[in-house]
């Protein structure tokens, strides 16, 4: 093997509780052509205690390699991204959490219907569901040792509302919108009032946004312009969860250490967690295969497919609940304002190729279902499947027998899967006379363009935190809400009425009819073409145990351990 140093630079990093030196080497590409590894980072520990000491610390140190790192440490911050959600989950507590269920493969999944204590030892739900009274555990403290009180809970929930944007919208999904809804009864008792009782009163207090912040610590860094200390909390931990932020090098690495006085659950096995940000999927895979990393998400589907076949690493693929990968058509733009055109496009999509070629089978096809909706499951297969003759006939009926030209857009940061999907769609639609131009939009501009609703045709996915079809449709189909995720610009008063009723319905049969009703409208009008329910894939060393699939799709360090 030919190894040449890229440079003489030696970069320090953390490994367990030690600081190591990292050397970067160039690997002979011919030697590693089959595996696709061109450059590989090799680490050589420089430890005062020697390799045996390193092995002992390694046992309780989790090393994760990730494509993206946190943009801020505060989920209430305007720039919060998905890695920030992971920080919230592990560094902060909530009042309650979900029960975990062990699966056949030894991993776990959350039970969205059952709740368990976290900061709250117990709670009382009013008979009419209009309020919940939480009784806090008296032994819980924040990382700085200060006791957790009802005043902290009230301030934190008010903070989420005051943050605006996504946190406020998330809180509002269960009608938590005003500060006076959070009523402190005594130092360890707080009541949350709901002016419009709904099914989400508990579920929405178990999401990352409902994190409990050390209010006294945060207030020390608040200003008149920043009364909730958003800037300071965005750069410093202010929680009382199972882990503390030990160090953070934005764009490179974040290190967590266990909070040994954590009282809201069983003390975690892992004493330290290191998240290394590595852009190259090939390098992340190589580090896993070498054993230099323990776990990684967000490898390309091809890699996960190959790793499953090789069986050297443990690969867990969980169908993502309340999630759908889809094509949106903007119904306010010609020719997508015509339902016949939208149906024609739906019959011209190469669904099996999208699933098996672009995604390497890492998902569940959402096509070829019945014409009539018979279940409240979401997502569920649409009635459409590839039928080019039917597509051509519908285009002719709509007056587009010669086809038309359009632009298909996608977020370039998702190009690993979106680009092959776009090319497959482009090729298939050409067969019915539709010319598709492909537009790649930068990640920084993607949500701006979604908000402008100026894209005629696009590829996207949406995952709802709460596993209820009316909640999903409220975010993505509801014309009255018309959120950024309704890229179809779709407004249908009949659907909106059913969604609104279902959100607050208490009668099970009526709720079932309402849900089936708005799903049926979505399938008949087809402003959105369902493609695939994605897998949440994760690869890890065989020795890692206790992985839990959570609705927020981030890693729970608290449940992980290493087999002896």
Phi then psi dihedrals of residue 426, to 5 deg: -60, -45
Question: For residues 239 and 91, is the Cβ–Cβ distance under 8 A?
Answer: yes
Residues of the chain with CATH 3.40.190.10: 82-268+541-562
Does domain 323-536 fall under CATH 3.10.105.10? My reply is yes
Query: 397, 514, 502, 415: which is closest to 459 by C-alpha?
Result: 415
- Give residue for tokens 């008979």: 127
Inter-residue contact 26 to 33 (CB < 8 Å): no
**pLDDT tens series, the chain, 564 aa:** 333 333 333 333 443 333 443 433 334 433 333 444 433 433 333 333 333 334 446 899 999 999 999 999 999 999 999 999 999 999 999 999 999 999 999 999 999 999 999 999 999 999 999 999 999 999 999 999 999 999 999 999 999 999 998 999 999 999 999 999 999 999 999 999 999 999 999 999 999 999 999 999 999 999 999 999 999 999 999 999 999 999 999 999 999 999 999 999 999 999 999 999 999 999 999 999 999 999 999 999 999 999 999 999 999 999 999 999 999 999 999 999 999 999 999 999 999 999 999 999 999 999 999 999 999 999 999 999 999 999 999 999 999 999 999 999 999 989 999 999 999 999 999 999 999 999 999 988 998 999 999 999 999 999 999 999 999 999 999 998 888 999 999 999 999 999 999 999 999 999 999 999 999 999 999 999 999 999 999 999 999 999 999 999 999 999 999 997
Residues 476, 488: Cα–Cα separation, whole Å:
9
- Name 311's Cβ contacts closer than 8 Å, sequence gap at least 6: none
Start-end of H helices in 62-188: 82-91, 150-162, 165-172
> In CATH, which of 3.40.50.300, 3.40.190.10, 3.60.15.10, 2.60.40.1080 is domain 82-268+541-562?
3.40.190.10
For CATH 3.10.105.10, list the domain ranges present in the chain: 323-536
Q: Cα–Cα distance between 316 and 444 in angstroms, integer?
A: 30
Contact of 188 with 135, CB cutoff 8 Å: yes
Residues 78 and 165 sit within 8 Å (Cβ to Cβ): yes
**CB environment 202-220: b (16+ within 10 A), e (fewer):** bbbbbbbbbbbbbbebbee
Separation CA 312–CA 295 (nearest Å): 13
Give the pTM. Answer: 0.87
Backbone angles phi, psi at 316, to 5 degrees: -120, 120
Tell me the CA end-to-end span of the chain in Å, nearest whole number. Answer: 33
Q: Is the dihedral of CA 240, 243, 249, 250 positive or negative?
A: negative
Burial class (CB in 10 A: 0-12, 13-18, 19+), 419: middle
Q: How far apart are CA 329 and CA 336, in angstroms?
A: 6
Residues 408, 411: Cα–Cα separation, whole Å = 11
């Amino acid at each position: 093997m030919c190894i040449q140093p890229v440079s003489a630079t030696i970069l320090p990093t953390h490994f367990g509780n030690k600081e190591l030196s990292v050397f970067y080497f160039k690997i002979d590409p011919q030697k590693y052509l089959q595996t696709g590894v061109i450059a590989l980072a090799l680490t050589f520990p420089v430890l005062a205690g020697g390799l045996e000491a390193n092995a002992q610390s390694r046992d309780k140190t989790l090393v994760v390699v990730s494509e993206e790192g946190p943009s801020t440490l505060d989920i209430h911050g305007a720039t919060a991204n998905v890695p920030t959600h992971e920080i919230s989950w592990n560094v902060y507590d909530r009042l309650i959490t979900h029960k975990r269920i062990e699966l056949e493969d030894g991993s776990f999944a959350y039970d969205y219907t059952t709740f368990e204590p976290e900061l709250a030892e117990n709670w009382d739900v009013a008979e009419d569901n209009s309020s919940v009274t939480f009784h806090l555990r008296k032994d819980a403290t924040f990382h700085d040792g200060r006791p957790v009180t009802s005043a902290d809970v009230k301030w934190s929930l008010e903070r989420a509302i005051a943050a605006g944007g996504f946190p406020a919208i998330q809180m509002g999904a269960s009608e938590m919108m005003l500060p006076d809804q959070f009523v402190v009864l005594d130092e360890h008792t707080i009541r949350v009032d709901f002016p419009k009782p709904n099914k989400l009163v508990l579920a929405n207090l178990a999401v990352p946004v409902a994190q409990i912040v050390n209010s006294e610590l945060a207030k020390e860094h608040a200003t008149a312009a920043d009364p909730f200390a958003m800037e300071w909390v965005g750069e410093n931990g202010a929680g009382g969860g199972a882990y503390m932020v030990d160090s953070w090098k934005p764009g490179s690495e974040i290190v967590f250490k266990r909070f040994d006085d954590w009282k809201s659950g069983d003390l975690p096995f892992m004493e330290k967690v290191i998240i290394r940000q590595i852009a190259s999927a090939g390098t992340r895979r190589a580090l896993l295969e070498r054993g230099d990393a323990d776990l990684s998400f967000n490898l390309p589907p091809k890699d996960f497919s190959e790793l499953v076949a090789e069986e050297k690493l443990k690969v867990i693929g969980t169908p993502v609940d309340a999630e759908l990968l889809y094509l949106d058509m903007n119904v306010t733009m010609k020719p997508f304002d015509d339902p016949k055109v939208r149906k024609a496009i739906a019959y011209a999509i190469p669904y099996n190729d999208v699933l098996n070629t672009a995604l390497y089978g890492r998902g569940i096809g959402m096509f070829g279902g019945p014409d009539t909706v018979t279940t409240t499951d979401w997502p569920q297969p649409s009635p459409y499947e590839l039928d080019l003759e039917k597509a051509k006939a519908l285009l002719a009926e709509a007056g587009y027998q010669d086809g038309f030209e359009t632009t298909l857009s996608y977020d370039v940061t998702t190009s690993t899967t979106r680009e092959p999907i776009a090319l497959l769609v482009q090729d298939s639609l050409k067969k019915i006379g539709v010319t598709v131009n492909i537009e790649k939009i930068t990640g920084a501009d993607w949500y701006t363009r979604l908000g402008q609703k100026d894209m005629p045709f696009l590829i996207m996915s949406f995952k709802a935190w709460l596993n209820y079809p009316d909640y999903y449709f409220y975010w993505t189909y509801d014309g009255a809400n018309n959120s950024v995720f309704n890229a179809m610009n779709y407004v249908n008063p009949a659907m909106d009425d059913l969604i609104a009723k279902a959100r607050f319905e208490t009668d099970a049969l009526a709720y079932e009819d309402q849900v089936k009703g708005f799903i049926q409208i979505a399938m008949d009008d087809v402003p959105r073409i369902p493609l695939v329910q994605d897998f949440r894939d994760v690869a890890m060393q065989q020795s890692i145990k206790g992985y839990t699939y959570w609705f927020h799709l981030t890693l729970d360090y608290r449940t992980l351990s290493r087999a002896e």
